[in-house]
Amino acid sequence: MASNLFFSPFTLSLLLLLILFSSSLSSADVPPSNPVSTGTICSYTLDPSFCRTQLPQNNSANVYDCGRLSVRKSLSSARKFLALINQYLSHSSSLTPSAIAALNDCQLLASLNLDYLSSSLQTVSNTSSSPLPILQAEDIQTLLSGILTNTQTCLDGLQATASAWSVRNGIYAPLSNDTKLFSMSLALFTKGWVPKNKSGTLKHRTKSHLPVVNGTLPLKMSSRHKEIYESMRGRKLLQSASEGAGVLVSEMVVVSQDGSQNFTTISDAVAAAPNSTNGTTGYFLIYVKAGVYEEYVSIPKNKKYLMMIGDGINQTVITGNHSFVDGWTTFNSATFAVVGLGFVAVDITFRNTAGAIKHQAVAVRNGADLSTFYSCSFEAYQDTLYAHSLRQFYRECDIYGTVDFIFGNAAAVFQDCNMYPRLPLNGQFNAITAQGRTDPNQNTGTSIQNATIRAADDLAAANFTVQTFLGRPWKLYSRTVYMQSYMDGLIDPAGWHPWDGDFALNTSYYAEYNNRGPGSDTSKRVTWVGYHIINATDAANFTVSNFLVGDSWLPQTGVSYTDGLV
């Protein structure tokens, strides 16, 4: 039996507002713990159609359940891919040298991905359906971002050196699908577990509690190590083992080319470091005496919390000349490569002498999480410093190069550094940065704060003009910020240069804040959608405290830093 309903004008208005409000709610407003359709969950990802093929087709799932499933699938796919790489390498006699080189890179990167995914799965499986604490969320978002970076690096290597071989033998297609799956895992983790207000409290001009004084870290070590270090380096330490706080050193070895100390090569000293330490007992310190060390140094993932101190820029020099032209992949052309967690380098020059004519030739490749370089010099031409992945900090360093000479997809802050564009090949222009972010959920980017950008001597002496740009978009979501830096007149008025046509001009994020000097004039800058002149609030997102959550890990290195804006 029907009944007649009567609503007052006020009630009707209220009902209408509720209907309008509920219809205006986007999927982003739904709490991630709420059961929703697969379509809604997949709308959070970059490729919803792919996502729907990976999730159960039901209406009772939530972001957390789907996120855990996605990470499990990612781990399974990563295992299969590593097995596939190993299978092809086991038949390497039938492969070209360039294919073998690319596959060796992929093997290393796939192994790292297994570690990162195992750690990520453990975290998401053992946590409740709610956002994680900021530091823990940052750790896992960093690892999931690094997984995508590693996969893209493998793809780039296969395309550059063995693309026809890789497509023909079934490597490229599964790796492309893995990229979609890893991106899905990152998106769902970001939606469910990363706090909306992830940034820490903004601070200004605050230094580490353990500042460097007169170029010496406040090392805290045994009396025996202290005596050896002081006698070798001719400097007094700020703290001994019985005095106050300092950078804890568990063991020390000395490298000297004259054979009078523990080792004559840096690689032998690295091999002697303990495996898989957690840093609680202090750094394993390698003191490298002055000299030119012609060797290729690699610090693997099991050599954690290693500190390397030299006798100063241009005093302790590590040098090599591998290059892309001579058959090395860009990834493996590095003179010095580091993956081990918590690495610190002080007072060392890293050099690749291949020259501009050899194109990509890396001095340092850094894929070490929570890594720090203080008072170091990086010298090469194209692709000098490969800030590859994870979280990195550079303080008071000199960086020389030509094309894309700071590149990669780490979350990296360069503070109080000197950038020296050099004289490139005829017809080339200089680009200081080429940032490689491929996914908007990656917490990566290049932040350059209080830097000084001037021409290197060879460029300054040139009797013709070379265009020099702040950067160009290597990947679709490239992200680079210059703030509070001095830019000399060599910077082109446009500031930024395209990569290829209109690629990434709308999706990249390039920003400038409160820079100074004749090259900082923004009146003739590019007009891309992705270019921004930002204010202090936006710039604060790219400081050490907020972008790297550096207050949680930098103090233990003893390196001075400014955690906010200067």
Catalytic residue positions? Answer: 383, 404
CA angle 452, 458, 461 (to 5 degrees): 95
Q: What does residue 306 show for φ and ψ, rounded to 5 degrees?
A: -105, 130
Find all residues with CB under 8 Å of 258, minimum gap 6, and list them. Answer: 264
Cβ 395 vs Cβ 372: under 8 Å: yes
Q: What's the rounded Cα separation, in Å, for the pair 42 and 59?
A: 12
What gap in Å lies between CA 407 and CA 388, rounded to an integer? 7
Distance CA 524, CA 527 (A): 9
Closest CA to 485 of 499, 471, 465, 497: 471
Phi, psi at 382, each rounded to 5°: -80, 130
DSSP for 104-172, please give it.
Answer: HHHHHHHHHHHHHHHHHHHHHHSS-SSPPPHHHHHHHHHHHHHHHHHHHHHHHHHHHHHHHHHHHTTSH
How far apart CA 110 and CA 81 sit, in angstroms, is 7
In whole angstroms, how far apart are CA 146 and each of 392, 410, 549?
12, 8, 17
Task: Tell me which H or E stretch contains 54.
Answer: helix 48-54
For residues 84 and 516, give the distance between their C-alpha atoms in angstroms, rounded to a whole number.
Answer: 52
Alpha helices (H) in 193-342, listed in sequence order: 223-233, 266-272
Q: How far apart are CA 302 and CA 284, in angstroms?
A: 13
Residue 531, beta-bridge partner list: 510
CA neighbor of 564 nearest in space, from 461, 447, 464: 447
Backbone angles phi, psi at 11, to 5 degrees: -65, -40
For residues 488-527, one letter each, b for 16 or more C-beta atoms within 10 angstroms of the residue's C-beta and e for the rest, the string is bebbbeebbbebeeebbbebbbbbbbbbeeebbeeeebbe
* Burial of 9: CB neighbours in 10 Å, binned 0-12, 13-18, 19+: exposed
DSSP string, 62-111: -HHHHHHHHHHHHHHHHHHHHHHHHHHHTTGGGS-HHHHHHHHHHHHHHH
